[in-house]
Amino acid sequence: MSRSCTRRATCLLLPMLAACHRGPAADTFFPLAPGHHWTYRITTRADNGGTSHESLGLVSLDTDLLPDEGKGMPGHRRSDDGVEYWLRADDSGVHRLARRSIHDPQRRSDTPPRPVLKTPYTVGTTWQASTTAYLLVRRFDFPREVRHTYPPVPMEYRIESADETVETPAGRWTHCLRVRGTAAMRVYADPVIGWREVPLTTLEWYCPKVGLVRLERSEPAPTSFMAGGSQHWELMAFR
């Protein structure tokens, strides 16, 4: 799996504090304090049976405040492929305020801030954020990556469980959130089939004091003229 693909994968989650008045602190499931390190193993499986593996590291840094970060605890994360994120956690949850890739001369603000997790951290809480097709590609036409042709679509997120137990190489985690995201992207499949809606599905597991420990993404291809697949993130190390 190429580094550019890893950068696209990083956007999945992140396209990512003050204590809540009720319930757990807003950053309980998405730690923002500086000094944390995460290492993920990313496995991508294509529709044709091909499989690739990649490792991705993240680190939480001290942050310079953005204009509206005074409302909660700020966070600053950087991946080892150079992508940076600025976040904030408050009573409403965790939001991404800005991001910068290695190609950006300066950070680009999210207006309005992009929700990563919403409170209350209980079953049934929902929110919406934009997504795109990170895995879906054309087999013959260019540009191959579908996301370069179609605009982002809204993804609906819902907390499905607030008491999951998850085991990864980094440890065994309890009382975790399981969040499901669902979206549909309408694409031109081919001249015979015409337009089709491709379901985009994400499952994410967030655990207390560590954050994201597992992620599963599915983007099936609607036609033989396209290739889709799935991607699996698993936390390998945390400190």
- CA distance linking residue 148 with residue 139, whole number of Å: 15
Instruction: Give 40-55 as a DSSP string.
Output: EEEEEEETTS-EEEEE
- Per-residue pLDDT of 53-76, as tens digits, reads 999 999 999 876 665 555 788 899
Enumerate residues 6+ apart whose C-beta is below 8 A from 50.
none
Q: What are phi and psi of 209, to 5 degrees?
A: 70, 0
Preceding peptide of 154 cis, ω within 30°? no
Q: Which domain holds residue 71?
A: 3-238
pLDDT of residue 6: 46
Token pair for 125: 């809480």
In tens, the pLDDT along 26-63 reads 789 999 999 999 999 999 999 878 899 999 999 999 87
pLDDT at 3: 47
In this prediction the pTM is 0.85
CATH number at residue 27: 2.40.360
User: Which among 74, 78, 43 is positioned nearest to 57, based on CA atoms?
Assistant: 78
Domain count, the chain: 1
Distance (Å, whole) CA 202 – CA 214: 11
Q: What is the pLDDT of residues 123-156, one digit of tens each?
A: 999 999 999 999 988 888 778 887 788 899 999 9
